[in-house]
Chains A and B, each alone.
Chain A
Amino acid sequence: MQTALTDLERRLLNDYQHGFPLSPAPYADIARELEVSESAVLEALARLQETGALSRVGAVLRPNTVGVSTLAAMAVPPERLESVAELVNGYAEVNHNYEREHRLNLWFVATAAEATRLQSVLDEIGARSGIEVLAFPLLEDYHIDLGFELRWT
């Protein structure tokens, strides 16, 4: 459940999605900008992470920079969805897996250090499940990622 966010928490979540200070004491710099104490910033970030509203404060890497990844999809018969999802999630290479409303109802992202390993993960999933795995590798990226403007309702 969503917990009420303070103004400080909202600003930390929305205004610092990019441009986090590369300075010796970045939280103190943010605190100065927001006119609060450094400990208030650190405590707010800790609370946001505990509640899950904040995944982390850190670097977001360009796709396919460290390792190779692909989006992949399968058309899984509904009655087999649980077991196939479990099979897919069993691979450490799989970092995201979503059920979606479509004939292709299982969409996951797999990442490996090498293209050959990535391919064998997809091949194995296909062979073990008996369901074709369609690969949707990224051909070109059109988004300049500066974060995502949050709207509070």
Chain B
Amino acid sequence: MNVPALLRRWWPALVLVVLVLLPYSALPLPGLLDGPVGSPGSLQLLALCLVFGGLATGYDLLLGRTGLLSFGHALYFAAGTYATGLLLTRAGMDFWLAAALGLLAGVALSALLGSVSLRMTGIGFAMVTLAFAQAGSILVQRDPGGVTGGEEGLAATGLPTSLVGIQHTANLYWIALAYLVVTLAAVQWAVRSPIGRVWEGIRENERRVEVLGLRPYGFKLVAFVLAGTLAALGGVVYLLLTGGATPQTTTSDFTLSLLVMVVLGGSGTRFGPLVGGVLYTWAEHRLASLAGSGTIAGLPSVLRVPLSQPLFLLGALFVITVYALPGGVAGLPARLRTRAVSRGAQA
């Protein structure tokens, strides 16, 4: 095999090696990151990007692979974060045990609520998942018995010392990377399995799957629980990264941002949601710091007012993506190629 063919086959491994080695790099990326790549601030942002890349990949298991439009994914993410956080701070449990139980809480919750909400199809399903997630969000924010910390959130205590503090950011970064790799592998493996074929069939035409003698309900539930589990795992990693749980992660806006990431990157593709998650998270943080900077403050108010709201820019960007770029960022190379081919055919 020649080098380009090798590269085409093994580039994900190459990218992974580069990502693993990033904490040792002192490369400055002015404009993209505030400090050099290996500095704690940059690593923290990169780790967040990776976690959200993984989350979006897991969410796409529902949206892009099975064709299920769930608006309640935040709930399972928050279940992982809050269950682990509560067990750590209120029950004083060992971190690894708490993390395992938190993950289990996500599995149980997604199995329970999935089995109810999957009785609806299409938009009805979307609304029911939204309602459940809203219930979870209300529960967290109303702070029953003072356990969840309400609006303030929950600061995790009793974390392992090697995972706390600015000097250990690299460890957190590696954990985030591991989460991403696990998610990618799990999604890829599941999609290629016989169940994955049925998911594809359900996405294309659910009625036809029924006619073939299969009950879509069970298959959809497997997808829902798997996606919920991956989200809960992401929640545990997020708890480590931010050192606590915030009620913002329970809201429907959080799920909507996952949806934006997936569509932005390209739904139903292998790396699309990952790219979307990374881009969105990075843009959100950079836009927020840009909004506070002098460049924006000097603009006339017509420009300054909308530009000071990252969510406005991201919402607008999302609408533009839906219009101009139906396949997302991942579909971009193919689109450019077909355009070039059709132009060549015309010439």
Q: Do A and B share a complex? A: no
Q: Mark B residues whose CB is within 8 Å of A.
A: none
